[in-house]
Amino acid sequence: MNESFDLQEYLSRGIEKFVADVVKATLKNPRESAFMLRFAAATAAASQKRKEAEARGQHIPSFLIASITSQCNLHCAGCYSRCNHATVDEAPVQQLTDEEWLRIFSEADELGISFILLAGGEPMLRRDIIEAAGKRQNILFPIFTNGTFIDKRYFELFDKCRNLVPIMSIEGEKEVTDSRRGKGIYDRLIQNMAELHRRDLIFGASVTVTTQNIKEVTSDEFLKKLSDRGCKAVIYVEFVPVTDVSRELAPGDAEREYLQEELKRRREEHPEMVYVSFPGDEKSSGGCVAAGRGFFHINSHGGAEPCPFSPYSDINVRDTSLAEAINSGIFRALRENGHLLEDHAGGCVLYEKREMVEALLAQSK
């Protein structure tokens, strides 16, 4: 395995390349090209804010994950979020309001957080929030979506607001994607990619890696098809089992080693795309980056959690500031006591040590 790989450095280089690609894609539109140059400057300013805060003893992570809704229209096989009842068919009334999310985005901007991953449920269901996010030009918003709600209005919005970047979930070729996500989903994703490419819009793909699809989704054939369609980033997320029935789908040590070797090769041979493995890259980048060390998660009800795979919270952003949430009791305990740096079998360290996280949560209350 590539033990010397530095995830933070790689992400920084990937972000710089991403911005450069968007500038290139918008050369035909001077206004949008000018926006990307301003965004590059805003990113540098955000980095300086975080450095100054660090010097004052206040650690600010570079990005956060915001699950802006718990509602989803699909029932993907083995869905972690549904198994934990974090995703439902109908949107509950106690979700954060549009105004509350906009306040969070504003606070993030002030703190120097320039990347906010919008997730769900299915985030495209909350169009008003995404449209408002498009106006926060200092922040890049990758949107992790199943792609089924991307319509003409969204294409026009992405064209207008280059800080909104769709990251569409795909499980491999048509058979495996439709078997997990539903009939017709693969064709819809390919149609979306074609339209995004036609409009010179940057997009990425998110792949849930299982023991069944790992060879297919790392193959040169599959990744070349994504590249030819205009995809600029592939994010591999290891399947995390929550039931004994689905445990056989979870990658083991052999699969993780294979994945890391394949990504090492592709990073060297095919730099035209950015490749990230989560949480696989953690073991070669100094440990888990959750709980505010590199990022944290806000669920649809406002709970600040270490990450989506560790849904434990002792503080709610409805009742406090974002800066206070970053330094919640459970976050501090995980960071300061070295729990995020502990060796583990692979996969998600916090999910693997969930009993310990639950004990820390009880102590922080």
Element (H, E) at 165: strand 164-169
* Contact between 297 and 120 (Cβ < 8 Å): no
pLDDT at 341: 61
Amino acid at 53: A
Taking residues 28-39, report their average pLDDT. Answer: 71
3-state SS assignment for residue 100: helix
pLDDT at 258: 93
pLDDT at 300: 95
Q: What is the mean pLDDT of the chain?
A: 84
Q: Model pTM?
A: 0.88
Q: Average the pLDDT over each of 13-22, 118-127, 148-157, 184-193 and give the range with the smallest value.
A: 13-22
The domains located in the chain, with CATH, are 7-336 (3.20.20.70)
pLDDT at 243: 66
Element (H, E) at 330: helix 329-336
pLDDT at 332: 85
- Pairwise CA distance, residues 257 & 284, whole Å: 12
238 token code pair: 């290891």
Does residue 249 have a pLDDT over 60? yes
Does residue 3 have a pLDDT over 50? no
CA dist 143 to 66, 111, 146, 332, Å?
A: 10, 21, 10, 28
Taking residues 312-324, report their average pLDDT. Answer: 93
pLDDT at 262: 93
